[in-house]
A and B are shown apart, each in its own frame.
Chain A
Amino acid sequence: MLDTFVAQLILQERQIAYAIADQALRLEQIGGRLDLFESAGVCTAVGASLLDLARELIGYEDQVQALLAGTLSSFQVAMVNRENAAGELFYVTLHNYAYRRDNGAVTGILHIIEDVTLTGKNNQHLTQQRNELFLLYEQLRRANLKLEAANAELRALDALKSKFVSIAAHELRTPLASILGYIDFIFNDPIRTLHPDHQASVDVIGKSANRLLAITNNLLDVTRIEAGYVELTLGSVDLGKIVEEIASHFRPEFEQKQHTFRIEKEPRLPYALCDEARTMQIFSNLLSNAIKYTPDHGRVTVSLRYNPQKDVIIAAVTDTGIGIPAADLQNIGKNFFRASNVHLSRSNGTGLGLNITRSLVELQGGRMWIESTLGQGSTFYLTFPIDDGIFSA
Chain B
Amino acid sequence: MNTYSKKICLLGDFAVGKTSLVRRFVHNRFDDHYISTIGAKVSRKTVMAPGNSEVAELTMMLWDLAGSQEFSTVTASYLRGTAGAILVCDMTRADTLAHLPRYAEDLTKVAGPVQLVVAANKLDLPEQHQISSDQVAALAATFDAPYFLTSAKVGEEVDLMFRELGKLLLDRIR
* Contact surface of A with B, Cβ cutoff 8 Å: 41, 55-56, 58-63, 75-81, 91, 120, 123-124, 127-128, 131-132, 134-135, 138
A128–B7 CB distance below 8 A: no
Q: A59-B80, A127-B66 are in contact. Are A138 and B39 (CB under 8 A)?
A: no
B14–A79 CB distance below 8 A: no
With CB as the reference atom, state the residue of chain B lying closest to A132: B34
A80–B40 CB distance below 8 A: yes
With CB as the reference atom, state the residue of chain B lying closest to A83: B41
B36–A80 CB distance below 8 A: no
A55–B40 CB distance below 8 A: no
Q: What string of 1s and 0s marks CB contacts (under 8 Å) between B37-53 and chain A?
A: 11111101000000000
A62–B38 CB distance below 8 A: no
A134 to B81, CA, bound (A): 32
B14–A77 CB distance below 8 A: no
Min CB–CB distance B80 → chain A (angstroms): 6
B30 at the interface (CB under 8 A from A): no
A78–B77 CB distance below 8 A: yes
Q: What string of 1s and 0s marks CB contacts (under 8 Å) between B8-48 and chain A?
A: 00000011000000000000000000111111111010000
B14–A131 CB distance below 8 A: yes
Q: Give the total of B residues in contact with A, Cβ under 8 Å.
A: 28
B7: chain A residues within 8 A (beta carbon): 58-59
B38: chain A residues within 8 A (beta carbon): 79, 81, 91, 120, 123-124, 127
B81–A59 CB distance below 8 A: yes
A138 to B41, CA, bound (A): 27
A135–B41 CB distance below 8 A: no
Question: Which of B40, B63, B81 is close to A62, meaning CB atoms less than 8 Å apart?
Answer: B81
Min CB–CB distance B21 → chain A (angstroms): 16
Q: Is the interface of A mostly helix, strand, loop or mixed?
A: helix
Min CB–CB distance B131 → chain A (angstroms): 14
With CB as the reference atom, state the residue of chain A lying closest to B93: A138
A63–B80 CB distance below 8 A: yes
Quick one: which of A76, A131, A134 has the most chain B CB within 10 A? A131
B168: chain A residues within 8 A (beta carbon): none
A391 to B160, CA, bound (A): 90
B161: chain A residues within 8 A (beta carbon): none
A138: chain B residues within 8 A (beta carbon): 93
With CB as the reference atom, state the residue of chain B lying closest to A62: B81
A59 to B79, CA, bound (A): 9
B77–A91 CB distance below 8 A: no
A61–B78 CB distance below 8 A: no
A77–B44 CB distance below 8 A: no
A59–B82 CB distance below 8 A: yes
Query: When A and B form their complex, which 7 residue pairs have the shortest distance between CB atoms, in order from nearest?
Result: A79-B39, A59-B7, A59-B81, A81-B41, A124-B38, A127-B36, A128-B36
Question: Which of B34, B41, B61, B81 is close to A55, meaning CB atoms less than 8 Å apart?
Answer: B61
A128–B42 CB distance below 8 A: no
Starting from the known contacts A58-B61, A80-B42, 10 additional A-B residue pairs (CB-CB under 8 Å) come to: A56-B40, A58-B7, A58-B59, A59-B61, A63-B81, A79-B74, A80-B39, A80-B40, A81-B41, A127-B14
A60 to B77, CA, bound (A): 9
A131 to B19, CA, bound (A): 15
Min CB–CB distance A53 → chain B (angstroms): 13
A58 to B77, CA, bound (A): 13
